[in-house]
A and B are shown apart, each in its own frame.
Chain A
Amino acid sequence: MPLEQVEDRRRSSFADRFAKGLTDPTCPTPGGLNGPRGKGALKRYNVYRNNVTVSLIDALVAIYPAVQRITGAEFFRAMARFHVRASPPASPLLFEYGRDFPDFIESYEYAQKMPWLADVARIERAWLDAYHAADAPPLAGAAMMQVPADRLGDIIFRIHPATRIVRSAYPAVAIFAMNRADAPVTSLKSNAAEDALVTRPDMEVEVRLLPPGNATFLASLIDSATLAEAASKALTETSSFDLSASIAGMIEAGVFTTVQPGD
């Protein structure tokens, strides 16, 4: 064994040496490994390299099925391989993996012709977070009727743990919906900006399109604004914002858990 390698083995743990090449194909097979009767370790070590990379690519496929349907498996797996090697997971919980994958897609050279792809990925990431979010009963429609009319403006909503908003400058909700299911893909002629609302009122995750103004409205409520403050922000942005339709739609989608009187 070369002196350098002997030195290396004295200073580092077996795991340091073994881990180095798992996500870096340019690293040589670590020293000190073999097969029986002096057999080589090249293909043997490559089993681990392959397990690590393929299983992590598969994890991204499982989180981002619509993105894969859009790009095709070959494109997706090549893109995912770059990401897995650059940003392997830091948590043993694979459903937490790939949070930075949408940003990676946005900067990925070969995906530049699909500028909406990253937002579709953001909806899929939000879908999985909603799926695993804590259980909570959604606010019943009747709850609003118990609030005295003169106190309505002051109320504050508590947001359901599954609720997520994804804002897009592209028709990301329509593209997501078309590719997340198995139904045939039709051509989409739209350059509308779309905001997605992701909720899970019970056990089914739901993704729906938010009407204009609604994303700003809900984002304010999530930041603990009162109903009046959030409505005023939404109206400033979108003069046609319909407050009662918006609240009714959000209650139906399971956005809130409780309503509290303000101070």
Chain B
Amino acid sequence: MDAVMQKQDVRRDRRLRLPTLPVGGLAGTSFKPQHFEAILRDGPQRGFFEVHAENYMGAGGPPHRSLERIRSEHPLSLHGVCMSIGGPQPLDGEHLARFCALVERYEPALISEHLAWSTHQSTFFNDLLPLPYTEATLDHVCSHIDQVQDALRQQLLLENPSTYVAFEDSTMSETDFIRAIVRRTGCALLLDINNVLVSATNHGYPALDYLANFPFDKVREIHLAGHAEQSDDEGERLLIDSHDGPVAAAVWKLYEIVVARCGAIPTLVEWDSNIPEWRILRAEAGAAQLILDRYPARNVTVEYAA
């Protein structure tokens, strides 16, 4: 497996010191390799980029070459998709080491992962899978986040999930679960507003109720994305977190409410399939920036409380 990154591949030349670029009050987008040339043509711009960490865990080649270029001119958010923090089994130590090596190499302004699992036993399912909210799963999740933060020596932002099923075994609400995680681990949060709307619709509660119970003071990043629509067994609306289109009007409305209450938190527009031209994605981030600019930027210092 000599195409996978090893610790020695990422020892960065000390002369290539990266600029510390503040992310406060900015809107950004997912960085997609097909947009690289168009982004360079635009030149350095106000905003930041987010990448899925796993796509940059190869040893070398074009992915690192383009990410180095992007990072030299823009703040970066490193978004892990596969740590499987929500699963019952121990974290994959090799994967965590690769994740830390990327943090060391690219010095991201924001580092996040999901409240979900994707690997079980020896199989990687390539999806963000749900967990029941119980005292037992809370213990697992907290010990996993402790392990990640100890390895990173930085604060992790945990993202709220979008889900399609609920577990009969759950003994607490998702927001109570997330509050308990924050209290016990000192992690911060990535509030995905599309996920809030998707889950609220799928589980039949008002999105505003969820937001009212969400610990806003711990939110360091916001995600916006598009969703698709299907139907459940009863023929009623089931929203799918598809990231394949523009941000829905209802999500923009919730976003305005959140920003009005919390201030201008760095906001990222995700778009992962049916990826449009760069100018369209850029315009989505521009729409978020217009809203952010109406409110004071909130301090987004990432802390480490260990």
* Chain A interface size, under 10 / 10 to 19 / 20 to 34 / 35 or more: 35 or more
Whether A161 sits at the interface, judged by CB under 8 Å, is: yes
Cα A227 to Cα B168 in complex, Å, equals 68
Complex contacts, B54 vs chain A, CB 8 Å: 92-94
A15 in complex: contacting residue of B9, B58, B89, B124, CB < 8 Å: B89
B88 CB–A CB distance under 8 Å: yes
Contact partner of A96 (CB less than 8 A), chosen from B1, B119, B130, is B1
Tell me which residues across on chain A come within 8 A of B126, comparing CB atoms. Answer: 51-52, 55-56, 59, 89, 94
Count of A-B contacts judged by CB separation below 8 Å: 163
In the complex, A16→B164 CA distance in Å?
18
Q: Mark B62-78, 1 if CB is under 8 A from A, else 0.
A: 11110000000000000
Smallest CB-CB separation from A42: which chain B residue?
A: B233
Find the A residue at minimum CB distance from B1: A96
Contact B60 A133, beta carbon cutoff 8 Å? yes
B153 within 8 A of partner (CB)? no
- Nearest Cβ on chain A to B298's Cβ, whole angstroms: 33
Q: Are B230 and A47 interface neighbours, CB within 8 A? A: yes
Known: A15-B117, A90-B122. A43 touches B231 (CB 8 A): yes
Chain B interface, number of residues (Cβ within 8 angstroms): 57
Are the C-beta atoms of A19 and B120 separated by less than 8 Å?
yes
In the complex, residue of chain A having the shortest beta-carbon distance to the beta carbon of B131: A14
Q: Are B2 and A133 in contact (CB under 8 A)?
A: yes
A39 CA to B127 CA, complexed, in Å: 23
Question: Chain B contacts of A94 at CB under 8 A?
Answer: 54, 126
Q: B203 near A: Cβ within 8 Å?
A: yes
Cα separation A44 to B167 with both chains bound (whole Å): 12
> With the chains together, A88 CA to B65 CA distance in Å?
30
Q: Which of B216-234 contact A (CB under 8 A)?
A: 230-234
A65 and B240 alpha carbons, distance in the complex (Å): 27
B167–A33 contact, CB under 8 A?
yes
Bound together, the chains give a CA A229 to CA B1 distance in angstroms of 28
B57 part of interface (Cβ distance < 8 Å):
yes
Across-interface contacts of A41 in B (CB, < 8 A): 165, 233
Inter-chain contacts of B43 with A (CB < 8 A): none
Minimum distance in angstroms from B58 CB to a CB of chain A? 3
Instruction: Report if B286 contacts A (CB, 8 A).
Output: no
Cβ of A51 and Cβ of B166 under 8 Å apart?
no
A223 to chain B, nearest CB (A): 15
| A residues near B4, Cβ cutoff 8 Å | 93, 96, 132
Contact present for A40 and B233 (CB under 8 Å): yes
User: How far is A52 from B132 in the complex, measured between Cα atoms in Å?
Assistant: 20
Q: Are A13 and B232 in contact (CB under 8 A)?
A: no
Residues of A within 8 A of B304 (CB): none
- Measured in the bound complex, the distance between the Cα atoms of B117 and A51 in whole Å is 14
Interface string of B81-96 (1 = CB under 8 A from A): 0101001110010010
- Give Cα A95–Cα B127 distance, bound, in whole angstroms: 16
Q: Quick check: is B45 within 8 A (CB to CB) of the other chain?
A: no
Contact of B100 with A by CB under 8 A: no
> Is B60 within 8 A of A36, CB to CB?
no
Contacts A44-B165, A45-B165, A203-B61 hold; do A92 and B82 have CB atoms under 8 A apart?
yes
Q: Please give, as numbers and ranges, the residues of chain A lying within 8 Å of B120 by CB-CB distance.
A: 15-16, 18-19
Residues of B within 8 A of A252 (CB): none
B228-245 interface code vs A (CB 8 A; 1 in, 0 out): 001111101010100000
Beta-carbon nearest neighbor of B233 in chain A = A40
Verify if A104 is at the interface (C-beta below 8 Å from B): no
A32: B residues at CB distance < 8 A: 167-169
Q: How far is the CB of A87 from chain B (nearest CB, A)?
A: 10
Cα-based distance from A144 to B166 in the complex (angstroms): 67
Chain B residue with Cβ nearest A89: B124
**Smallest CB separation, B186 vs chain A (Å):** 26
Cα-based distance from A37 to B202 in the complex (angstroms): 11
Separation of A258 and B3 alpha carbons in the complex (Å): 20
How far is A165 from B60 in the complex, measured between Cα atoms in Å? Answer: 19
- Cβ 8 A contact of A161, one of B60, B62, B164, B205: B60
Q: State the Cβ distance, A30 to closest chain B Cβ, in Å.
A: 9
In the bound complex, residues from chain A placing their C-beta under 8 Å from that of B2 are: 129, 133-134, 161
A112 within 8 A of B: no
A28 close to B (CB within 8 Å): no
Q: Establish whether residues A90 and B240, one from each chain, have CB atoms under 8 Å apart when the complex forms.
A: no
A to B CB contacts below 8 Å, 19 in the list: A19-B129, A40-B233, A44-B202, A45-B164, A47-B238, A52-B126, A88-B124, A91-B124, A92-B82, A92-B95, A92-B119, A93-B58, A132-B58, A133-B2, A134-B9, A135-B60, A136-B60, A162-B61, A203-B65
Other A-B contacts than A15-B131, A33-B168, A34-B168, 18 sampled, CB-CB below 8 A, are A14-B169, A19-B121, A39-B233, A43-B231, A44-B233, A48-B127, A48-B129, A55-B126, A88-B124, A88-B125, A90-B122, A93-B54, A95-B58, A133-B3, A134-B2, A134-B9, A134-B59, A161-B2
B residues near A, CB below 8 A? 1-4, 9, 54-55, 57-65, 82, 84, 87-89, 92, 95, 117-127, 129-132, 137, 164-169, 202-205, 230-234, 236, 238, 240
Chain A interface residues (CB < 8 Å from chain B): 9, 13-16, 18-19, 22-23, 32-37, 39-45, 47-48, 51-52, 55-56, 59, 88-96, 128-136, 161-162, 200, 203
Closest 4 A-B residue pairs measured CB to CB?
Answer: A132-B58, A36-B204, A92-B82, A40-B233
